[in-house]
Amino acid sequence: MAPYKTIDDLDVADKRVLVRVDFNVPMKDGAVTDATRIERALPTIEELSKKGAKVLLLSHFGRPKGKPDSEMSLKPVAKALADRLGGPVEFVEDCVGDPVKKATKNMLDGDVAVLENTRFHPGEEKNDPEFAKALAANADLYVNDAFSAAHRAHASTEGIAHLLPSAAGRAMERELDYLKAALSAPVRPMMAVVGGAKVSTKIELLLNLVGKANILAVGGGMANTFLFAKGISVGKSLCEPDLADTAREIMDQASQKGCEIILPVDVVVAKEFKEGADREVKAANAVGADDMILDLGPETVNLIAEKIESAKTLVWNGPLGAFEIKPFDTATVEAARYAAKRVKDADLVAVAGGGDTVAALAAAGVEDDFTYVSTAGGAFLEWLEGKTLPGVAALEASPEK
**Residue 221 designated active-site:** no
Q: Which domains does the chain have, with CATH numbers?
A: 7-172 (3.40.50.1260), 186-384 (3.40.50.1260)
Instruction: Name, in order, each residue with C-beta under 8 angstroms of 185's C-beta and a sequence gap of 6 or more.
Output: none
Strand-pairing partners, residue 6, are: 168
Instruction: Name, in order, each residue with C-beta under 8 angstroms of 95's C-beta and a sequence gap of 6 or more.
Output: 58, 115, 116, 117, 118, 120, 121, 135, 156
* pTM assigned to the model: 0.89
3-state secondary structure string across 272-334: CCCCCCCEEEEECCCCCCCCEEEEECHHHHHHHHHHHHHCCEEEEECCCCCCCCCCCCHHHHH
Supply the pLDDT for residue 377.
83
Give the tens place of pLDDT for each residue, 66-87: 999 999 999 999 999 999 999 9
> Per the residue annotation, which of 66, 110, 235, 378 is the catalytic one?
378
Task: Tell whether the model's pLDDT for residue 207 goes beyond 60.
Answer: yes
Higher confidence at residue 359 or residue 69? Answer: 69
> Per the residue annotation, which of 84, 126, 133, 198 is the catalytic one?
198
Range of lowest pLDDT (78-87, 175-184, 230-239): 175-184
Higher confidence at residue 185 or residue 66? Answer: 66
> Per the residue annotation, which of 15, 16, 37, 152 is the catalytic one?
37
Supply the pLDDT for residue 376.
86
User: What is the band of 181 on the pLDDT scale with cuts at 50, 70, 90?
Assistant: confident
Give the tens place of pLDDT for each residue, 2-24: 688 999 999 999 999 999 999 99
Report, as an integer, the average pLDDT of 189-212: 94
Give the tens place of pLDDT for each residue, 287-308: 999 999 999 999 999 999 999 9
d(CA 14, CA 263) in angstroms, rounded, equals 57
Spatial CA neighbour of 157 closest among 252, 21, 306: 21
Spatial CA neighbour of 25 closest among 59, 70, 51, 1: 59
Give the tens place of pLDDT for each residue, 101-111: 999 999 999 99
Q: Quickly count helices (H) and strands (E) in the chain.
A: 14, 17
Supply the pLDDT for residue 248.
97
**Residue 258 designated active-site:** no
**Residue 386 designated active-site:** no
Cβ–Cβ under 8 Å, residues 136 and 113:
no
In terms of phi and psi (left: phi > 0; alpha: psi -120 to 50; beta: otherwise), the region of 49 is: alpha
d(CA 263, CA 266) in angstroms, rounded, equals 9
User: What is the band of 194 on the pLDDT scale with cuts at 50, 70, 90?
Assistant: very high
**Residue 84 designated active-site:** no
